[in-house]
Chain A
Amino acid sequence: MSAILETRGLTKAFGAVVAANDLSVSVAPDTVVGLIGGNGAGKTTFLNLVTGYQKPTAGTVTFEGRDITGLAPRRITRLGICRSFQIPQVFDTLTAYENLLVGLGIVSLGRRAFVGSALGDQAPEAVAEEMLQRFRLGEWRDAPASALPEGVRKLLDIAMALAVKPRILLLDEPTSGVSADEKFALMDLVLGAIRADKVTVLFVEHDMDIVRRYTERILAFYDGRIIADGMPDRVLADAEVRRYVTGEPVPGGA
């Protein structure tokens, strides 16, 4: 089975800090992968490098056999790699509905530039309404994003990433800022919405119960390196992972 996403020797240095250190990862299509690691371990940096927000100091990123190293985020989005953010990146003065419409509008303007879209043959307005319902954002439809509770902003941020029909969805701490009893519901909602389409999902998570429940593979980060990679049970039992990642309670992250 050929990889959908592959990195080779991916390295990013910020001065003396090496946030990504020689990362070589190969992800098979149609899998759900969990990224774990303490604060500052390099998880977000990995997503930034894959989506083109930061240029690697060394190494390559390959998507569906194509070298995408150094491409701008908008080009990578058009190819079908989408992401949500650790701190929700929404349009504060626009309503929830308008936030969704921005992305769907972009897709409808440039249909040919995108490999796939959530539009099908529908109008962006109709799809935006439908997504509001699907993600249970209906009651927030006309509220400016700045007025939404953190958990709702998080959900909106994720829904926005799905204007493009992604091949890979990268989620940066989707459940942080969401109350404990709502975390599973949120993951069910998000994964339920996309897994039918065989979308590959990589998500960063600090809650090991969530990771155990939803992933079939875990990458454990520590100090810019991947210290364990494999089946969830094996990785979570790994001595180094217990010592550096899960051994002590991990704070919620910035």
Chain B
Amino acid sequence: MSAGAPPRLWPRLGLALLVTLAVVPFLPKWAAFLVTLALAKGLVALGLLLLMRTGLVSFGQGLYYGIGAYAAGMGASALELGDAVPLVLLGATAAGLVALLLGLLLARYRTIFFAMLSLAFSMIFYGLLVKTSALGSTDGFNVAARSTFGLPTTSPVGRFGVYGLGALVVFVGAASLDRYLRSHLGRLAPAIRDNELRVEYMGASVRNVVHLHLVLAAVLAGAGGALTALAVGHVDPETTYWTTSGEFVFVAILSGTGSVAAPFVGALLLELLRSFAYEHAPNTWQLVVGASMLAVILFLPEGLWSVFRRRRRAA
């Protein structure tokens, strides 16, 4: 942190968006799928970045991820929405509304109590899904969008619709959050993490800011869940299970909170690691993932992103 405001990130994010879209036609299907999943899960980790900057770690983001996925799925089947765009909006909105409600309680808690209460809500939702046969219980149900931005999924371009939509949502989400974090309101995140009492004594309501950040993080997670549902073509209760939530925390810590781009780098790495480890070491892949986490915590306590920053400083 030094003199002058750090450079705005959106031009570089925009470039990343263009590159991501440009490489689509050349990617094999499995790679496009892998990148889409990384973008979707990176969105959830991006929400966690906001919470972590506010001093909070949620072990229950799977709740909003699952709500986003199921809302998109039900939008496609029950509401007969055929296009991916409104389905993602629906997922994000549903998750945001749930956070608006739960935030009334959650925004009062901090540290391990906050983490455990978030976990509890996600487990309750998991329990409900498993018991709801109309939603397929443990099997879940299939989801399919007929088009993206009106381009049918059967057309040459529309085939990659969800991939492109994911890249666009990530661009809008990351650029907006970057801008927000530089605003007067966004600056309260580190202030709250450092000293809540002082923030109150400056005339602001800490609880309201925390509540807002819970909703913003949920909206991002909901969009991520909806994108995953559309990419996979299926939703099931696993999306809200605690191991899924744990994976998001994993990605957020692996990436670090230094930049809004970090969660996507971290998510992509995890997806790559997982798919290669699955293939070459199907029985020990958790071991590989665990060992890499350990290495990051020991050698890069500020996350993978600090590698980029260190190199820039050296240059």
Contact = CB atoms under 8 A, between A and B. Distances in A.
Q: Which of B188, B191, B197, B200 has the most C-beta atoms of chain A within 10 angstroms of its own C-beta?
A: B191
A103 B2 contact: no
Given A89-B197, A91-B194, A94-B190, A102 B1 contact: no
Nearest to B193: A93
B194 A74 contact: no
A152 interface: no
Given A94-B191, A94-B194, A105-B184, A144 B1 contact: yes
Given A106-B203, A110-B203, A114-B203, A91 B198 contact: yes
Contacts of A108: 184
B137 to A, nearest CB: 47
Contacts of B3: 141-142
Contact of A74 (B184, B185, B187, B203): B203
A74 B200 CA distance: 5
B202 to A, nearest CB: 4
A164 interface: yes
Contact of B198 (A51, A89, A110): A89
Contact of B188 (A72, A74, A106, A114): A106
A124 interface: yes
Given A74-B204, A106-B184, A160 B190 contact: no
Nearest to A89: B198
Interface residues of A, number: 36
Contacts of A102: 187-188, 191, 199, 202
Contacts of B184: 101, 105-106, 108-109, 124
A93 B197 CA distance: 15
A142 B4 CA distance: 9
Given A93-B190, A102-B188, A72 B1 contact: no
A73 B191 contact: no
B26 interface: no
Classify the secondary structure of B's interface with A: loop
A83 to B, nearest CB: 7
Nearest to B197: A89
B78 to A, nearest CB: 41
A108 B203 CA distance: 11
Contacts of B187: 98, 101-102, 105
Contact of B194 (A93, A114, A142): A93
B285 to A, nearest CB: 36
Contact of B191 (A91, A95, A107, A161): A91
A92 interface: yes
B170 to A, nearest CB: 27
Contacts of B195: 89-92
Nearest to B208: A74
B132 interface: no
B198 A160 contact: yes
B201 interface: yes
Contact of A160 (B188, B200, B202, B204): B202
B190 A73 contact: no
A33 B203 CA distance: 24
B176 interface: no
Contacts of B200: 72-74, 77
A176 to B, nearest CB: 18
A160 B195 CA distance: 13
Contacts of A106: 184, 188, 199, 202-204
Nearest to A141: B3
Contacts of B188: 102, 105-106
Which 6 pairs across A and B sit closest by C-beta, in order of nearness?
A105-B184, A91-B194, A77-B203, A103-B202, A89-B198, A106-B204
Interface of A: 51, 53, 72-74, 77-78, 82-83, 89-95, 98, 101-103, 105-110, 113-114, 124, 141-142, 144, 160-161, 163-164
Interface of B: 1-3, 183-185, 187-188, 190-191, 193-195, 197-205
